[in-house]
Structure 1
Amino acid sequence: MHIIDAQIHLWAGESAPPHHWRAPYTVETALRDMDEAGVHRAVNCPAVWDADANDYAVEAAKQHPDRFATLGWFPLDETADESRVDAWLDKPGMLGLRFMLAAPDMADRIASGDLDWLWAAADRRKAPMGIMVLPPYLAAVGDVAARYPNMRLLIDHLAVNPFEKLPDAAAHLDALLALARHPNIAVKATAVPSMATDAYPFASTHGVLRQVFDAYGAQRMFWGTDITRLHCSWREAVTMFTEELPWLRGRDLELVMGRAVADWIGWH
């Protein structure tokens, strides 16, 4: 089985937010850890806290095109326009974009229409677009998906607040499941152990995963880690899915563990 992590962060600088405790996380460290865990490839979402992370991502993809691909970002400031999308997607290994829209001032721009130029640019290019968004803005994400059906959205971490534990972490689950009616929305089942209230195999999260799987199916639910903030091993994050979910087997397991995200972002 070819295993692809749907979200990691690579960066070489020393700075990082406190909850990303494995810092820095370099290409060399990631390759070592991936080999130990049996992870073949990883989708790199360059660290937003490191100004050089996008350039580092390009070098990682150039040097190891069979191991790393990138969903990059650029500042969504007053200078941002559609030409930035073209420039970014022309970079080596850059298969799509990913933006942090969790802070209220950024998330409000989803509903206001202020980012419609970005969605339209991705829609015209049929490009994958990752977003980190929190529960209050899921309905607005659904509206965007309906208006731009060619854009392939990926919602980070099941829209779970990274600082919450169950049951609060899944209080929004109905809203997330409702978005499954949009065929251009997929979800990353990334960083799942971080919301668990118990130790490996994190059984407290298994019911949530089953509900998401039943709604989105194997082709739109992607396994991954966000490894730099997990306090379990990468191998445990793998076997939690491959060995501890009896309802996830066969082709469905292969899809969730990598084949589906490769198809979604065009990493062939």
Structure 2
Amino acid sequence: MISESSKNHESPDAEIIDSQVHIWLTDRPDRPWIPDPWAGKVASAEKVFRAQLSLSCPAALALDELAVAGVRRAVLAPLMVYGTDVTLEAEAVAEYPDRLSAVAAVDYTRTDLPKHLEELRSQGFRGIRIPGLGWQTFAADGFHNVFAAAGDLGMTVFFNMTHPLPSNVHETFDRFSGVNFVVDQLGLSSAPPIEPLPEEPFAELPLVLPFARHDNVHVKITAAPAYSRATFPFPDIHDAIRILVHAFGAKRIIWASDFTRTNCLYSYTEGLTYLEHVEGLTPVDLARIRGGNIARLLGIWS
């Protein structure tokens, strides 16, 4: 049976929710960044990061940017400069409980992990992300503890894919079938303009499609127009969007702007409304993709 909240989330006029927004303050004594947050990044990526983070983007400023496009609510995603310290996100959710939810960065090696996740959930965090998720650790079943703890609390696990993937990925998704996983950035390894746009932006897409057989795996089409070489409405990415929707179904595709990464490429409004030009997406599909799915997964604002 479809609940009333699910019906509301799937209504063509359902509220739009941006499922990935970053906030931060410039490096300062009372809110220091971790040492060398650029470690492991190529020089070109570090240059882009430094330029993007040279000015603060607190929650109020981010919400103002969304409001220009008529978007009122968002899910905050942790930023690497703070490591696993999500105090800034927790404070923002406490200040704007009706407008913000959040995903927390967690240290999977903590001995008090279940208690820690429970505390995070009480602060408004409804999902987790493992910073720099290492696929060697994944291959050795090193994340089973955090997946189990997240599942016990109904928290969604978000992660980026870096291809090639270890052979036990499908087995892990089957083992933790009660945990919802969200694959970020269309399942692609690159995140333009932090990394240069690949010659074939969607060459890795066929590697993502087999995950559609897992009902608990969802795909976040984060900043998808960043993979385009065209102007709005970015027609050269429409096929990729349709392929993902066909494979996973509109109920497992999630829109996100990540606008602080892409505002040098296109406007927030363009990054939101291009989906209305993708042939075959119905009003109900759009409602699910642009808010309904993330609200249902995280259990927020129902």
Q: 2-side partners of 1:51 and 1:182: how far apart? A: 30
Q: Does 1:252 align with 2:285?
A: yes
Q: Which residue of 2 aligns with 1:177?
A: 209
Q: Which residue of 2 aligns with 1:73?
A: 105
| DSSP-derived class of the 2:142 partner | coil
Residue correspondence of structure 1 range 64-213 to structure 2 within 5 A: 64-77=96-109, 81-91=113-123, 93-101=124-132, 106-137=134-165, 140-160=168-188, 161-162=190-191, 163=195, 165=197, 168-213=200-245
Q: Does 1:262 align with 2:295?
A: yes
Deviation, 1:246, is: 2.8
Per-residue CA shift, 1:136-184, capped at 9, x if unaligned? 2275433221110111101111122112535533222122111011000
Deviation, 1:254, is: 0.7
Deviation, 1:52, is: 8.3
Per-residue CA shift, 1:54-79, capped at 9, x if unaligned? 11111111111121100101233465
Deviation, 1:4, is: 0.7
Given that 1:190 and 1:226 are in contact with CA atoms closer than 8 Å, whether structure 2 keeps it comes out as yes
Given that 2:138 and 2:166 are in contact with CA atoms closer than 8 Å, whether structure 1 keeps it comes out as no
Deviation, 1:199, is: 2.1
Q: 1-side partners of 2:220 and 2:88: how far apart? A: 23
Deviation, 1:40, is: 2.1
**Match of residue 26, structure 1, among 51, 54, 58:** 58
Distance 1:117 1:177, change over 3 A: same
Q: Which residue of 2 aligns with 1:10?
A: 23
| DSSP-derived class of the 1:113 partner | coil
Structure 2: segments with no counterpart, 5+ residues:
1-12, 28-32, 38-45
More displaced 10-residue stretch of structure 1: 93-102 or 257-266: 93-102
The total of aligned residue pairs comes to 263
Code of the residue aligned with 1:220 in structure 2: it is R
Q: 2-side partners of 1:109 and 1:157: how far apart? A: 21
More displaced 10-residue stretch of structure 1: 252-261 or 167-176: 167-176
Code of the residue aligned with 2:93 in structure 1: it is A
Structure 1: segments with no counterpart, 5+ residues:
none
More displaced 10-residue stretch of structure 1: 232-241 or 190-199: 190-199
Identity %: 25
Q: 1-side partners of 2:205 and 2:112: how far apart? A: 33
| DSSP-derived class of the 1:13 partner | coil
More displaced 10-residue stretch of structure 1: 158-167 or 194-203: 158-167
Q: 2-side partners of 1:139 and 1:7: how far apart? A: 29
Distance 1:19 1:137, change over 3 A: farther
Given that 1:101 and 1:107 are in contact with CA atoms closer than 8 Å, whether structure 2 keeps it comes out as no
Deviation, 1:125, is: 2.5
Larger-gyration structure (1/2): 2
Q: Which residue of 2 aligns with 1:233?
A: 267
Per-residue CA shift, 1:174-204, capped at 9, x if unaligned? 2211101100000101111221122222211
Given that 1:135 and 1:159 are in contact with CA atoms closer than 8 Å, whether structure 2 keeps it comes out as no
Code of the residue aligned with 2:267 in structure 1: it is S
